[in-house]
Amino acid sequence: MYRYDEFDATFVRQRVKQFRGQVERRAAGELSEDEFRPLRLMNGLYLQLHAYMLRVAVPYGTLSARQMRKLAFIADSYDRGYGHFTTRQNIQYNWPRLPDVPDILGHLAEVEMHAIQTSGNCIRNVTADHWAGVAADEVEDPRPYAELMRQWSSLHPEFSFLPRKFKIAVTGSQADRAAIRYHDIGLRLKKNTQGEAGFEVFVGGGMGRTPMLAARVRDWLARDDLLTYLEAIMRVFNLHGRRDNKYKARIKILVHALGAEEFSAQVEEEFARTGAPRIMPGEGELKRIAAYFAPPGYDALRDDDPALALRLEKHKDFAGWVERNVSAHGVPGYAIVNISLKPIGGIPGDASADQMRAVADLAESFSLDEIRISHEQNLVLPNVRKRDLFAVWLSLGEHGLADANIGLASDIIACPGLDYCGLATARSIPVAQDISKRLGEPARQREIGDMKIKISGCINACGHHHAGHIGILGLEKRGREYYQITLGGSGDESASVGEIIGPGFSSENLSGAVETIVDTYVELRQNGETFLEAYRRVGPEPFKEAVYATH
């Protein structure tokens, strides 16, 4: 894991002090709310429906036990004993008081964390594959580059007042677990025939009211050109992105208006002109960062563990959990444990301070002190010895964290919606709870199989509904909530945008409609097709027919 040196530590401390000064000037009336707003947003502080909300960055989703304990401490001391993990590898606290925020940021700085640029029209927290460094199918660990981009984007002098927010995601695998084509910039780390590292570059993806998949602008970008090329993209966007209409201000609109080819040509011209001065750090600095991500001290183990085999035979529940929640690790004898934050009928992504501490303890005892946050609002213990899986499962169970539903119908992504968010047009949490109760019976959801249901409480699409196999968008008409359903979306390497199936549903009818869609799929699937495969084969018609006949 990356560790701050004195430089990073001083940087973050100075930033906290600077914000403390801004909060004081706001309190003294020296800054108007209009002036203060962008400043607090760039420090992760929103004003929500009922209170302030602080969004803390978990850069590329990697945490240590000590950091997780600090998040629990903040939840206890400044919130109501819980935190909410988001789709962008952040954690949100819903009830901080403004005067306390500089102190909270101070606590975070103590454990090498911050809330810098988790909001505002700037480059946001850089996200990465949550299995980075441990996935069996990885070409190279993308985190050293994610860390490089975290540093480069922090308080960037030229790109802190962009037309709109800007999101970058990076993966090092062919399987895309970071939804790179739904980001403003998506990067896929790869190697050329000489074994040198470089990137495939996608630009202009996004959700919101105009969902778009990012266009590929470079098949190969040499590693040493990474930051220079990113600066070229950012400069074209900063100068030419629309600022007259916030709904048309994301880079996807610019890419679409110019056409990917013309946009790319402008970027290449800018890139060609920016030879000197040097933007990338030297080899030594790249090595310094990469060294922090060297594989931890793994034991030399046999891949199969006899004790595990025995336990799998004896404990059906355990076996079911292993099947859904445990994934292949690149090192023999190790496994990746995915911890579901989606208990049946619970709030997706919420964790109590006690649960955070329990996960921290497990990470220390069983995962070489590492925890990951996934963009699907779950947690990951990336380095568990297979022989320890049973102990980890038992302990998770004691803390209500052993739901065996990763990737299943009740593993729902939902934004906070009208329960918290000032922009919401409808509630999303109760909808998620309803659906999860309806489909969450263990045998039933196993029977349904891989299913991504994603729910947003308004057109901004923070719940990624466009990328849901079943996507749900909450809207409002004449004071009543109603919900639009889209089908066939996907955020993985076969990315697609979901299609609206027809008129919306009331909150009473919605979960029934979702169930009808699921039942229709179960009936028509062939040879073990997943929902997405079946949908791609048959199209929307059978689903429409079934849903509108009954609802």
Partner 1 sequence: MPLIRDGEIIADTWRVLDEGAEIPGQGDVILSLERLRNGAGQIAARAGRTGVAIENSADPGELEAHLAHLDLIALDFPAFTDGRAYSQARRLRVHFGFAGELRARGSVLADQAGFLTRVGFDTFELAGGQSLKVWNASARSMTLAYQRGYDGGQATREAVTELPAPA
- Binding residues for partner 1 restricted to 265-294, rule: CB under 8 A: 273-274, 276-282, 285
Least Å from the CB of residue 220 to partner 1: 23
**Sole binder of partner 1 in the list 24, 110, 158, 262 (CB under 8 A):** 158
Reading the block at residue 244, the tokens are 């007259």
Smallest separation (angstroms) from ligand SF4 to the CB of 84: 10
Q: How far apart are CA 124 and CA 119, in angstroms?
A: 7
Bridge partners (DSSP) of residue 337 are 326, 381
Binding flag, residue 3, partner 1 (CB under 8 A)? yes
The dihedral region occupied by 400, where left means phi > 0, alpha psi between -120 and 50, and beta the remainder, is left
3-state helix, strand, coil in the chain (%, to 5): 40, 20, 40
Instruction: Give strand ranges (E) for 214-328.
Output: 215-222, 326-328
Task: Give the Cα separation of 146 and 227 in Å (integer).
Answer: 11
Beta bridge mates, 381: 337
Q: Compare residues 117 and 171 and give the one whose CB is closer to partner 1.
A: 117
Helices (H), 303-406: 306-314, 316-325, 353-366, 389-398
Pick one of partner 1, ligand SF4, none as the site partner of residue 158 (Cβ within 5 to 8 A by kind). partner 1
Q: Does residue 415 interact with ligand SF4 by CB under 6 A?
A: yes
Residue given tokens 């910039």 in the structure block: 185
Determine if 4 is a binding residue for partner 1 (CB under 8 A).
yes
Contacts of 479 (CB under 8 A, 6+ apart): none
Q: Which tokens hold the place of 135? A: 């996935």
Q: How many residues bind ligand SF4 (CB under 6 A)?
A: 13
Q: Is the dihedral of CA 346, 373, 155, 6 positive or negative?
A: positive
Q: With CB under 6 A as the contact rule, which of the stretches 179-187, 298-306, 417-425, 514-522 interacts with ligand SF4?
A: 417-425
State phi, psi for 303 to the nearest 5 degrees: -70, -40
One symbol per residue from 438 to 457: x for binding ligand SF4 (CB under 6 A), - otherwise; what is it?
------------------xx
**Residue 120 CB, nearest approach to partner 1 (Å):** 9
Nearer to ligand SF4, 102 or 348 (CB): 348
The amino acid sitting at 161 is F
Cβ 89 to ligand SF4 shortest distance, Å:
15
Quick check: 458 binds ligand SF4 (CB under 6 A)?
A: yes
463 counts as binding ligand SF4 under rule CB under 6 A: yes
- Choose the contact partner of 423 out of ligand SF4, partner 1, none; CB within 5 to 8 A by kind: ligand SF4
- Tell me which of 27, 239, 294, 309 binds partner 1, using CB under 8 A: 239
Query: Nearer Cβ to ligand SF4, position 409 or 458?
Result: 458
Which residues contact ligand SF4 by CB under 6 A? 415-417, 421, 423-424, 456-458, 460-463
